[in-house]
Chain A
Amino acid sequence: MAEPLIAVHDLYKHFPTRLGGMLSRRLGYVRAVDGVSFEIHRGETIGLVGESGSGKSTVGRLLVRLLDPTRGEIVFDGHSLAGLTPAQLRPLRRHMQMVFQDPFSSLNPRRTVGESVGYPLKVQRVCRSKRELQERVHQLFEVVGLEPYFMNRYPHEFSGGQRQRIGIARALALNPQFIILDEPVSALDVSIQAQVLTLLQELQERFRLTYLFISHDLNVVEYLSTRVMVMYLGKIVEVASAEELYRQPLHPYTQALLSANPPLSPDDTSTGRIVLRGEIPSPLAVPSGCRFRTRCPIAMAQCAAVEPPLLEAAPGHHVACHAVV
């Protein structure tokens, strides 16, 4: 098997919470990402689903080192990212880019959108002349389906869908290998959402991109992903190919998530719906043992005592649940 593009090993991110100002008391830690390991293969789209507070966005930010991990290892294309200085990181950064959820806050309102898209090219000094930079930006606008004469306009002149296209153009500027898409269509209307999703598919084929697609929308994840990881309270609870995960979810949390996601046809409603009790606990007070046990319909005594490891239940299908493996 080919070497993965990204290998993550035992990654943690704990945010200290404090009360008061400078001489503050440390109250505890938000265990946003609490020991995750996974690999991303070249050319695949790996979906990362979970509810708010599951740590999925933090994982994305750790991968591009927008956040420094508390501990753990990230290997990108054979290079370990841990402990690199910003200067050492810069040449690697151009191969990994990010598209954010909110196209309204991720573009600088005081820069023309052409400047925003061209900015990574400037920082990385890839264009020899102003003219070359202009040409590249022009080309990027065409690639994402925007009229190149929009280059000189400001973000407020665009709709949400257009801004998201601008964000995608900026992510493509340096010809990256890997793009993290953090809820890229969640803020968009249904008909615009479909336009952006098909654009992302076309770009992936054209430029042989690898995607990490972070979303809470199970249908969108299934549509775009080849493999899917499910996160709950800082841990990965299940990983499988998209087909297998949606056809045969093994973890009780995945089963509940999928059953909470109703079909679009009126004929097969409420078939075996699992309604979970309560809400996701605070990452400040993670339950002992299995962190899902407080809401789990099949929790046993063992679940409070021992945290279930992520084990292979079927070829390529990993799950962290005492009742399954």
Chain B
Amino acid sequence: MPEMILDVQDLRTYFDTDEGLVKAVDGVSFRLARGTILGLVGESGSGKSATALSIMRLIPNPPGRIEGGCIDFQGENLLAKTEAEMRQVRGARISMIFQDPMTSLDPVFTIGQQLTEALTYHQRLRKKEAWARSVDMLRLVGIPSPEARMRNYPHEFSGGMQQRVMIAMALLCRPDLLLADEPTTALDVTVEVQILDLLQDIRQRLGTSIILITHDLRVVVNVCDEVAVMYAGNIVEIGPVQEVFTNPQHPYTLGLMASIPRPGIKGRLQPIPGRPPNLVDLPTGCRFLPRCPEAIAACQEAFPALVEVSEGHRVRCIRRGPHG
């Protein structure tokens, strides 16, 4: 049995807005084994980024708050930690990278200054050691002539190189968990493959567990071991990538796959009708019901549970599973 490093149970993260209470994350549960890459997919507003920010305890309060649940990280409940304790976790044991590296790097400091700061703060390394470790890390993420590049400012790097610097910074303290929120969305395809290769290489070499948040199913197929599909604040389908993509079950997952043009197939796309529900005013039953081609009367009655349909593959739909 592989070691579990993260166990999220019934996570609920809500936001107060002018229109009412938005249940951005509403009962999310999943587990992550060491060295595994989990893809968290969903459309905008599905709650995938809010899930990651909840794990980092970076939900802005107000308007947001973590309403309930448990985030067990290596045996410690992150939701019970004080802000001071969380500062020892963030950037050291759990790191996060974002879509736009330019907004996460400080334009007035050199890359070297920004990289060494994390090491002198978290690991109390001396300047010289921190410098050497940073150079090593830049080399690991594939930045040419790393010694010279340490003295450059962020704007002197291209988009792909900036994302490599961000990844280097995130990995400096050798975290056990890396949260990557759409890390390649802003990049061109030929650069995207380079960064995705790098993430897989890092998992291989350092054993880092990665949660990769993306809206792109192709990225998931090619990079991840497991996948969780989110819709309106919930996981609607979760399982090993191979299994979920060869045998998708939830009508939403099926709809997503039919929405993507595929090479060589010229038939019309079959779009999912309608739009995701308003998170302020969620229906009582299944949240996908208004858009679902397979809905029956019973779907309105109760919120469906995640039911196992095969080994490790679970689906939130009453029309699937043993009683479906």
Chain B's nearest CB lies how many Å from the CB of A137?
A: 23
A192 and B192 alpha carbons, distance in the complex (Å) = 23
Task: Note all chain B residues with C-beta closer than 8 A to A52.
Answer: 188
Task: Note all chain A residues with C-beta closer than 8 A to B255.
Answer: 191
Contact call A191/B256, Cβ cutoff below 8 A = yes
Interface range for B: 35 or more
Contact call B263/A263, Cβ cutoff below 8 A = yes
Task: Note all chain B residues with C-beta closer than 8 A to A216.
Answer: 188-189
Indicate which residue in B161, B221, B259, B262 contacts A269 across the interface (CB closer than 8 Å): B221
Nearest residue (CB) in A for B245 is: A266
Contact call B275/A201, Cβ cutoff below 8 A = no
Contact call B261/A223, Cβ cutoff below 8 A = yes
A190 and B216 alpha carbons, distance in the complex (Å) = 8
Chain A 152-195 residues near chain B, CB threshold 8 A: 159, 161, 189-195
A322 and B232 alpha carbons, distance in the complex (Å) = 52
A313: interface (CB < 8 Å): no
Using known A-B contacts A216-B189, A257-B189, A263-B221, determine if residue A190 contacts B261 with beta carbons closer than 8 Å. Answer: no
For the complex, count residues of A whose C-beta is within 8 A of B: 40
B53: interface (CB < 8 Å): no
Contact call B269/A280, Cβ cutoff below 8 A = no
Instruction: Kindly supply a per-residue 1/0 record for chain B positions 235-275, scoring 1 wherever the CB is within 8 Å of any chain A CB and 0 otherwise.
Output: 00000011001100000000111111111101011111101
Instruction: Kindly supply a per-residue 1/0 record for chain A positions 259-280, scoring 1 wherever the CB is within 8 Å of any chain B CB and 0 otherwise.
Output: 0111111110110010110011
Chain B's nearest CB lies how many Å from the CB of A156?
A: 13
Contact call B189/A260, Cβ cutoff below 8 A = yes
Contact call B221/A265, Cβ cutoff below 8 A = yes
Instruction: Kindly supply a per-residue 1/0 record for chain A positions 44-57, scoring 1 wherever the CB is within 8 Å of any chain B CB and 0 otherwise.
Output: 00000001100000
Chain B's nearest CB lies how many Å from the CB of A101?
A: 14
A174 and B263 alpha carbons, distance in the complex (Å) = 34
A279 and B242 alpha carbons, distance in the complex (Å) = 31
Task: Note all chain B residues with C-beta closer than 8 A to A247.
Answer: 264
Task: Note all chain B residues with C-beta closer than 8 A to A285.
Answer: none
Chain B interfacial positions (CB closer than 8 Å to A)? 43-44, 158-161, 188-194, 197, 215, 217-219, 221-222, 241-242, 245-246, 255-264, 266, 268-273, 275
